[in-house]
Amino acid sequence: MRIVCPFCGERELGEFTYLGDAKPQRPAADAGEDAVYDYVYLRDNIAGVMSEHWYHGGGCRAWLKVTRNTLTHEISAVEPAAGAGAAKVGA
């Protein structure tokens, strides 16, 4: 598989590490145990298009949000995590 890193260009799978579902958002500090439980443990396991976190640890060390079809491995979009390239925020 190959992933087009928004910073590095197309790279082979070996440079990346998979984390998993990128949908769940970390709950606020006061959200309570149930919300955190959901965030930590409840994951969709989609046979189809999924948004996933990948880490370009073998390259620029950016965390990426990759939209991938788990059936075909087709990647339809890759975008940086909010804090990757954040120096340009507001610039």
Partner 1 sequence: MADFSWDVRSPLDRALVAGAYGAQGDAGVSLTEIRNFDLVQVMARRGKAGEMAKAAKARFGIAAPETRKAVGTSDATLIWSGPDQFLVLSKGGKHGIDALAPVFTGSASLSDQSHARVLISVSGEKARAMLAKVSSIDLHPDVFGVGAAAATSMDHTSVTLWRNNDRDGQAVFNLLVFGTFAESLWHTILDSAAEYGVTISHSEELA
Partner 2 sequence: MRGNQANRLAAGGLVDRSEEISFRFDGKTFFGFKGDTLASALVANGVRLVGRSFKYHRPRGILTAGSEEPNALVELRSGARREPNTKATTAELYEGLDAASQNRWPSLNFDVMAVNQLFAPIFVAGFYYKTFMWPAKFWEAIYEPAIRRAAGLGRAAGLPDPDHYDKAWAHCDVVIAGSGPAGLAAALAAGRGGARVILCEEDFVLGGRLLADGGTIDGLPAAEWVARAVAELTAMPDVRIMTRTTLFGVYDGGTYGAIERVNDHLPVPPEHQVRQRLWRIVAKRCVVAAGSIERPIVFAGNDTPGVMMASAMRSYINRYAATPSRRIALFTNNEDGWRTAETAIAAGLQVAAVIDARPDVSPAHRSLASKGGFPVLHGSVNGVDGGKNGVRKISVSLTGGARAEVEADGLAVSGGWNPAVGLTSYHRGRPKWRDDIAAFVPDGAPPGMIAAGAANGAFGLGACLREGFEAGAAAARDAGRSGSTGSMPVANDEAFSLMPVWHVAGKGKAFVDQQHDVTASDVELAQREGFQSVEHLKRYTTLGMATDQGKTSNVAGLAIMAAVSGKSIPETGTTIYRPPYVPVAIGAFAGHHRDENFHATRLTPSHHWAAEQGAIFVDTGLWKRAQWYPRAGEKDWLESVTREVKAVRGGVGFCDVSTLGKIDVHGPDAGAFLDRVYINAFSSLAVGKARYGLMLREDGIVYDDGTTSRLAEDHYFLTTTTAKAGLVMQHLEFCRQVLFPELDVQLTSVSDQWAQFSIAGPKARDLLKEIVDPAEDLSNEGFPFMGARAVKLRGGLKARLFRISFSGEMAFEISVPARYGEAMARNLMIAGKPFGVTPYGTEALGVMRIEKGHVAGPELNGTTTAADLGLGKMMSTKKDFIGRVMAGREALVAPNRQVVVGIKPTDKARRLRSGAHIVPKGETPGPDNDQGYVTSVCFSPVLDQWIGLGLVERGRERIGEIVQAHDPLRGEDYDVELCNSVFYDPDGGRQRG
Site string for partner 1, 63-82 (x = CB under 8 A): -----------------x--
- DSSP strand pairing (9-12 vs 17-21): unpaired
Stretch that binds partner 1, among 22-30, 36-44, 54-62, 67-75 (CB under 8 A): 54-62
Query: Closer to partner 1 at the Cβ: 7 or 37?
Result: 7
| Helix (H) or strand (E) segment spanning residue 17 | strand 17-21
Query: Is the CB of 46 or the CB of 81 nearer to partner 1?
Result: 81
Structure token digits, residue 1: 């598989």
Place of tokens 């954040």: 86
SS3 13: helix
If one asks whether residue 90 binds partner 1 (CB under 8 A), the answer comes out as yes
> What does DSSP assign to residue 27?
P
Residues making contact with partner 1 (CB under 8 A): 7-9, 11-12, 14-15, 57-62, 80, 84-91
